A and B are shown apart, each in its own frame.
Chain A
Amino acid sequence: MRYAPRSEPFFSRNAWIALGAFAMVTLVIVPALYVFVPEGDPFHVSAYTVTLAGKIMCYCIVAVAMNLIWGYAGILSLGHGVFFALGGYAFGMYLMRQIGREGQYQSDLPDFMVFLDWKAFPWQWTGSEHFLWAAALVVLAPGLLAFVFGVFAFRSRIKGVYFSIITQAMTFAFMLLFFRNDTGFGGNNGFTDFKRVLGFPITAPSTRAVLFALSAIALVGSLVLTRYLIRSKVGRVLTAIRDSESRLMFSGYNPLWYKLFVWTLSAVICGVAGALYVPQVGIINPSEMSPANSIEIAIWVAVGGRGTLLGPLLGASVVNGAKSFFTQSFPEYWLFFLGLMFILVTLFMPKGLTGLAARILGRFK
């Protein structure tokens, strides 16, 4: 929430300890328990747990990116699902190329292209067989889209709810675009049935463990980056944009470039999260771009607490945990719960769970 002055340490002692513990658990303990402890042993971590935790960590990264733009710069994006999905699709293309001839039709082309009777890869797929190009695309695709969109939107000073609904229209348009078979990304079904990544079988425990650890590293990286950013001068300008853009302009700053920078950065982080998400979950399809998905990202951040470092993590974990629980046990009540969460959190918990916790702790002091 508040601007962190330079005099403050980068992280407090406790924060460093927590960070170390988190790294220890995610990089060493969980992968080891999953890969080396045999199944059936009480200490074994199941593949389901690792995948679920990996998935939630990817969501956490998205929440961190959302927090960067909404929590600090006060710009509510309802289109972050697009950046997430674009990253996912970019890496998914590489994963599709890795299937090789092991698809159902034993063709060089992915199954859906054979099905559509295509003879060659369309231009969008150029170079997607190279891991490095795919990795570059993970950053470039969401980054470029965000940059171009941002230039136009911020230049004409679209802000507030106007900006939100235009981003929503953008994600809706992209969803429709990706639903088309002609777009060349598998239409309705998207990409699935991945076999390998960098030659390693994708369902092998060791591969999963590495992907899990990579998600953890990316998450920690995004947190450190956020912290670095808000301690910097840029971070100060960003919070000023949130609090009073007109005043900032009158003081001689041009908010355009700051907004554009944080907006693009946020999109790129989302893209990376998407790229890590796809190999773990094993599927990417256009429904990731549905407006409802993007707006759910906002509620993760709101539940956790906007403008705090750890709030988004907490929110993403709590909401997605609840979602897993509800959709398995009471599927018909999930939307009620989600809807009520949107209403109650905005009405009664404007600072989210972290704010609530701080208030309760404050009482005890």
Chain B
Amino acid sequence: MRARLSAFLLSILYMLAVAPAQALDPKVVSKLASDDSAARLEAIDQLAASGEEAALTLLQALANGEVQVTPDSRVIIVSDQVLDAVTLTPIASAPDEYEAVILNNRMRARVDSAIGALSLLSPDRATRLASAKAVETTQDVSLLPLLERAIDKETDPLIRRSLEHTRAVLDLRSQDPARRLAAARVLGDSSQARVRTFLLQLLEKDSSGTYLETDADVRFAAQAALESVERRLAFSDYFGRIFSGLSLGSILLLVALGLAITYGLLGVINMAHGEMLMIGAYATYVTQQVFRTHFPGALDWYVLAAIPTAFFSAALVGMALERTVIRWLYGRPLETLLATWGISLFLIQLVRQIFGAQNVEVANPSWLSGGVEFANVVMPYNRIVIIGFSMLVLILMWLLLSRTRLGLFIRGVTQNRTMASCVGVPTGRVDLLAFGLGSGIAGLGGVALSQIGNVGPDLGQAYIIDSFMVVVLGGVGQLAGTVYAGLGLGVMSKLIEPHIGAVLTKILILVLIIAFIQKRPQGLFALKGRAVET
């Protein structure tokens, strides 16, 4: 039964492949066999203009190098079976000798755009959309009739708009001023940078100062269109920068949260904090490897398992450090800084010995790959998820600090250690747990980083200085300062970067921070109260 059904399906498929029995024009097809490359180019254009599905099949075969010429100048397609190129029917007696039709680069480009153009008529929406995007960059006026046909048939508004823009770009070079005028008007609602170039061409003058475009109405329309395109481009530019700024800021936030807690609590800067990021990222890597060998079916979900793994491994390392090193340096913050730097060197070298000095490969699961486009800006899913993730961590932190007993203790010890100790807060335990918590959050930052960048032993070093700046700017003891400073620094750097470059941006931001703390030495949000400097 099954076998019969599949045989039936196969035969239908076969019929479908053969069915477009409206054979191609033999004259056009035979030109493909010509030695003259101009003739072959012409054949390709004619095939494209025909709009036949058979032409598409033939062109695809041409692109795959399956089109062959027999010594008697018959054009055939040799793939699984041997087909006649004109009728696309199998040939009973396959010729023994044939020679491939070689495409030079120019012809290949023409074939590709012809394939794209022909797919415009495909019944499948996704194919049409893809090909509409593909022909957007075409300069080939010969596609115009095909475009007209596709626009007439098109029902999907998105594809239709894209096709109309493509047609308008081609129409800008039309001899007919009315068509040019219409085209310029249509292009006004485009948001693509290349459209801007075409519109600018309409407004160019020659050496004697007269406009290349003779018709004043067209120039006027082009000017108006240009302005609206530029407005839209500027918007998507800003939107893109703010998005990448938020993405950077949310990572800085994850790094700086833990730093701000431990600094507020113990008054020490943990130079090994960046290495907690690294541990988190390597924990993600190890989780991925475990899933790969033991649960290959669930590989896509390894990131979820990596979150607790990274949190606890970084938290454990952090707590071990607190117990073995930092606790003994209490009251000597500068020495703590040096000792934690030593720890960071040690951890980096340790990871190098275990995992090698090269970056390890952490793959994005399929649900984090790809992205969504808005206002001409592609926002990758992994970055969107990271922004959401850090907000989630932030909310959990806030709940922990404001609603739990541990949070109360942490706030109490941050405000006044001696007093807290007097009323029975176990400060030593609070220190330990808070340190673990801060390190764990950095570990979560490591999971996030592993999804967007390289994972290597030096991973933590790249972010640590920026996150120190977040702490300096934000002040300590309150989440709000860290949040504003982290996101603010992220967005600000990305807004400035395109103007003066990444390096000068870093320097400028440092200068701004130093200038800022002239006014507010305690950072954006200082703890209110009688905090005595010691």
Contacts and interface: CB of A to CB of B under 8 A. Distances in A.
Interface of A: 70, 74, 76, 149, 152-153, 155-158, 160-162, 164-166, 168-170, 172-173, 176-177, 179-180, 246, 291, 295, 298-299, 302, 332, 335-336, 338-343, 346-347, 350
B365 interface: no
B156 interface: no
Interface string B331-369: 011111111011111111110110000000000000000
B333 A161 contact: yes
B343 A164 contact: no
B333 A342 contact: no
A302 B336 CA distance: 12
Given A169-B510, A338-B342, A339-B344, A158 B503 contact: no
A168 B468 contact: yes
Nearest to B339: A346
Contacts of A170: 510
Contacts of A341: 342
B212 interface: no
Contacts of B337: 76, 161, 164
B141 interface: no
B518 A346 contact: no
Nearest to A244: B534
Contacts of A347: 325, 328-329, 339
Contacts of B343: 339, 342-343
A108 to B, nearest CB: 28
Given A176-B506, A298-B338, A246 B517 contact: no
Given A161-B334, A168-B468, A335-B349, A156 B329 contact: no
Contacts of B268: 161
B514 interface: yes
Given A157-B521, A165-B472, A340-B346, 6 more contacts: A156-B517, A164-B334, A165-B468, A302-B335, A336-B345, A346-B335
Contacts of B339: 342-343, 346-347
Contacts of B267: 160-161
Given A156-B521, A164-B334, A342-B339, A173 B349 contact: no
Contact of B465 (A157, A172, A302, A332): A172
B329 A162 contact: no
B269 interface: yes
Contact of A169 (B334, B469, B515): B469
B507 interface: yes
B533 interface: yes
A160 B334 contact: yes
Contacts of B472: 162, 165-166
B342 A339 contact: yes
B503 A343 contact: no
Nearest to B268: A161
Contacts of B325: 343, 347
B348 A342 contact: no
A85 B325 CA distance: 33
Given A161-B269, A338-B342, A350-B335, A291 B349 contact: no
Q: Most chain-B Cβ atoms within 10 A of its Cβ — which of A70, A161, A291? A: A161
A157 B533 CA distance: 11
A213 B186 CA distance: 79
Interface of A is mostly: helix
A39 B526 CA distance: 67
Nearest to A180: B503
Contacts of A172: 465, 506
A225 B344 CA distance: 35
Nearest to B468: A165
B346 A336 contact: yes
6 contacts: A149-B514, A169-B513, A170-B510, A332-B349, A336-B349, A346-B335
Nearest to A343: B342
Contacts, number: 119
Contact of B510 (A70, A162, A173): A173
Nearest to A299: B338
Contacts of B504: 177
A70 B338 CA distance: 13
A164 B504 CA distance: 22
A89 to B, nearest CB: 17
Contact of A173 (B353, B506, B515, B517): B506
A177 to B, nearest CB: 6
Contacts of A295: 338, 341
Interface string B488-509: 0000000000000101101100
B3 to A, nearest CB: 64
A274 to B, nearest CB: 21
Contacts of B328: 347
A165 B510 CA distance: 11
B346 A176 contact: no
A339 B332 CA distance: 18
Given A161-B269, A295-B338, A342 B506 contact: no
Nearest to B269: A161
Given A164-B334, A335-B348, A342 B341 contact: yes
Contacts of A332: 349, 352-353
B262 to A, nearest CB: 11
Nearest to A344: B342
A26 B346 CA distance: 37
Nearest to A174: B507
Given A158-B517, A347-B325, A164 B345 contact: no
A299 B345 CA distance: 13
B519 to A, nearest CB: 8
Given A155-B518, A347-B329, A342 B338 contact: yes
B503 A339 contact: no
Contacts of A291: 465
Contacts of A342: 338-339, 341-343, 345
Query: Which 5 residue pairs across A and B have the least CB separation, nearest first?
Result: A342-B342, A339-B346, A339-B345, A335-B349, A343-B342
A152 B349 contact: no
Nearest to A333: B349
B52 to A, nearest CB: 55
Contacts of B353: 332
B269 A164 contact: yes
Contacts of B510: 166, 169-170, 173
Contacts of B333: 160-161
Interface in B436-463: none
Q: Most chain-B Cβ atoms within 10 A of its Cβ — which of A157, A176, A350? A: A176
